[in-house]
Every structure is written in C-alpha cells, then in structure tokens.
Chains A and B, each alone.
Chain A
Amino acid sequence: MINADLIARLTAMRDEMTEILAALTRDDAAARIDAAQNAVPETHIGG
C-alpha cells in the first residue's frame, strides 16, 4: 500500500519537473525567436 508521504513527495517532484520543463521551453523559444530576428536583414533594400 502506498502511503500518503510517498504520494506527496512524488507530487512535489512532478510539479518541480513541470516547472523545469516550462522554463526549458521558454528558454528554447526565446533563443529561437532571437535567431529568427537576427536572420532578417536590417540593411536597406538595394543597399
């Protein structure tokens, strides 16, 4: 039988992993957005 303490610890671990995954997703998205912005030339047309 699984005790309440183990369930609480597993739940906390799950929440922590979810937060880490969300942070990684944000960081990855920000890096990709930065790269996309840098890929669009700033120079003038024909310049």
Chain B
Amino acid sequence: MNLLTRIIPLILVAALTGCAAPPVPPAVYIEQPVTTADVDTVVGEYEGQAAALATIHGRLSDACRAGRIPAPACTRLDILYQETRAAFVAKGDAYKAYLSDPTPANERRYRFQAADFANLYAQLRELAAAHGVEVPND
C-alpha cells in the first residue's frame, strides 16, 4: 500500500470531524450579578440616560410648541414621558437602596425597576423618532 492510500482516509476523517465548524453556543443571556465593583459603570450609564431624557424632553417640547407634532400625539408623548421619568427615578432609588443594603430582595427590586424603565424608555425613543424627533444616544 503506497503512502497516498494511507493518508487520504486520514485527510477525509480530519475534514469531516476536526475541521467541522465549532458548535454554536446557545443564545442564552446570563445576567451578571450586581456588585459594588460596577457601581461606577451603572451610575455612569444612569447619568447618560438622564442627559438623553432631558434632551428628548427639550426636543419634543420644541416640536409640540411649534406645532410640528399634532396635539393628540403630544399628549400621548407627555404621558409616556412622565411614566418614563417616574420609572427612571424609581430605578435610581432602587439602586441606592441596593447599595445601602445589598440583599437579594433589593437586587431583585433594582432589576425589576431597571427593566421597567428600559421598556418605557425604548417606547419613548421609538415614539419620538416616529414623530421626526432625533433621539440622542445615552
């Protein structure tokens, strides 16, 4: 048996097994625990969201006052903005409570408030953009 007849099966096996694409990990999102080490990151993100909310408020107010957005839509935007602002404040308060007393219950409360805010904030950004208002990055 010459050398080629020995090598070719090995190449075929390698091609079918070793060179196969690596398995794709399942798309599972695992939340990282909140620790005091990431306080600066969390608060920095919060400050960015505050600045973005203030900018959105200003741009929406200008557009509503100028009549570029119909009055009923302004009313809807105002309701959504006030809900978003309340959720933003609740998220900040929950994080402060968690930092003062880092119990699992306080962590759950913070995560709940953060998710509530994220949902409303996304809706507000989407609705503002739908009315031609440029929404800033956080």
Contacts and interface: CB of A to CB of B under 8 A. Distances in A.
Interface of A: 22, 25-26, 29-30, 32-37, 39-47
Contacts, number: 72
Interface stretch (B5-13, B17-25, B93-101): B93-101
Contacts of B77: 45
Q: Interface range on chain B: under 10, 10 to 19, 20 to 34, or 35 or more? A: 20 to 34
B39 A25 contact: yes
Q: Most B CB atoms within 10 A — which of A30, A32, A34, A36? A: A36
Contacts of A46: 60-61, 64-65, 74, 78
Given A26-B99, A26-B100, A33-B95, A41 B57 contact: yes
A39 B51 contact: yes
Contacts of B65: 46
Q: Most B CB atoms within 10 A — which of A36, A37, A45? A: A45
B47 A36 contact: yes
Contacts of A35: 47
B57 A40 contact: yes
Contacts of A42: 85
Given A29-B43, A34-B92, A45-B78, 15 more contacts: A25-B36, A29-B39, A32-B46, A36-B46, A37-B89, A39-B51, A40-B53, A40-B54, A40-B85, A41-B54, A41-B57, A41-B58, A42-B85, A45-B77, A46-B65
